[in-house]
Structure 1
């Protein structure tokens, strides 16, 4: 059985059984018909995925792994904030007439800062530090920039990534680990999507700096299930679970900026039926 399935089921059951509701409170999101979108939520949910054991894709339903990778490349490789550079349409609702989502995500990753060694944007600095000072405790990216929030069409949800290197005695290479901090997450629509995205990002960065991809620690401040998602989640978590797929990268690519979705290799992905027409609160 997939460990990602087991963690997802346990998280959903805990939210449904022990979470608190926002019903009747003043909330920002609404449904397409204008009705307030209330949630059942838990505070401070964490999950740990070890990529040395398996890739954390749900098998209860299919996660579109190449589309998830495409969005990660859009943010951290292309450093774009324009949906015309993205192959999916998940950001279309927040884009203006030019396709821009404002000063969010990729825009922030591409902003340069001055260091003693020169000028670097956020992703280039991560790669530089992992190659030159891998045991630094300062290797991270952050997209939650307060001075630019008013010019973002949506505040960043997954906003901070911290990289940390460890070395096990039995390994000939260091291990690269990651913490993903998320202020808010729609568990049904986005949980495994985000987990798989950042697992792929961890794999790409690790391969670029000749390290082993290790643990992904996911920290969610507000983990919630929307009121109109409850019945869908209850059905989903009762489904059969399968073994995790084998997910690897093209071993010939060692430049972070050379990866494409064609370099993601997915084998043996057995899963349940897709959940279609999930209502999305905006």
Structure 2
């Protein structure tokens, strides 16, 4: 019997607990770190790698991915979808700049209700979506990397240059957070055989919070692969995830041990309920995830 693919994730976490390099980090929390990790998930049967040893809020993850695809960089549109995962950074900047001890709830309410306030304090700088859809080169020309990828998949699917990335060196200092999942590279197989070709995607992540970040990132990346494969009229292949500095925060150790005590359950299935005209046309209602059973959620603080 094949080993459950979620054990790849649990093995990384167990390795960090046992052998991780203890080090201080940007946030001041401290981590157990390893350099270099890999996970592979076969999505060809419709599997959706929403981890099961704790509940993953997959709709929030997919909503963030849809937001990236729009090219937007302001949290106002995220908050309208009740997605609050990016609030910490502009909230910290606002508190530091003004000295006002505003609560997160009050800050988010002002972002939602006051467009001028949102424009000034809700923008994250040129983060993922800006780089993916509106990369500005030295001549002032904007480049839509996602659009270029879709064109290549349809016209030159054997290309080894089908990728997009967000590590724009000249704009890193303007970003609320430099990109963690940096590079997305694509590979098409089965072009000479019968049936539809298969699309696989490799994600390179320079920095990974293994407890909070990885489960979230993996399922949203699987959703992205499903969308792009559908648009390119291909079947889903593999999602391959590669981590650089892969770490467990020191204030997540007990939560990690609790998760490691649990047995994985079967992955759910993902069906896209319709095919929009383009990659920009997806809505959260288009994603149908069936058979998702998981152990209860495990709460842990976010390091900012």
Question: Is residue 205–residue 243 contact of structure 2 (8 Å, CA) maintained in 1?
Answer: yes
Check if 1:280 corresponds to 2:281: no
Which residue among 148, 156, 160 is the counterpart of 2:171? 148
Match of 1:49 in 2: 41
Which residue among 64, 86, 104 is the counterpart of 1:71? 64
Q: Which has the higher helix share?
A: 2
Question: Is residue 199–residue 234 contact of structure 2 (8 Å, CA) maintained in 1?
Answer: yes
Give runs of aligned pairs for residues 1-282 of structure 1, distance below 5 A: 3-22=4-23, 25=24, 27-29=25-27, 36-53=28-45, 54-76=47-69, 78-86=70-78, 87=81, 88-95=83-90, 97-111=120-134, 120-167=143-190, 171-253=194-276, 255-276=278-299, 278-282=300-304
Seen in structure 2, the aligned counterparts of structure 1 residues 2 and 82 have a Cα distance that, compared at 3 Å, is farther
TM-score scaled by length of structure 1: 0.89
Alpha-carbon deviations, 1:208-256, whole Å to 9, x = none? 0100111111010011001110111001111132111111111444532
Question: Unaligned regions of 5+ residues in structure 1, if any?
Answer: 30-35
Structure 2: distance between partners of 1:7 and 1:99? 37
Question: Unaligned regions of 5+ residues in structure 2, if any?
Answer: 94-119
Tell me how many residue pairs correspond in the alignment.
268
Structure 2: distance between partners of 1:140 and 1:7? 25
Alpha-carbon deviations, 1:138-157, whole Å to 9, x = none? 01111011000111111111
Stretch deviating more after TM superposition (119-128 or 146-155): 119-128
Question: Is residue 134–residue 142 contact of structure 2 (8 Å, CA) maintained in 1?
Answer: no
Question: Is residue 230–residue 275 contact of structure 2 (8 Å, CA) maintained in 1?
Answer: no
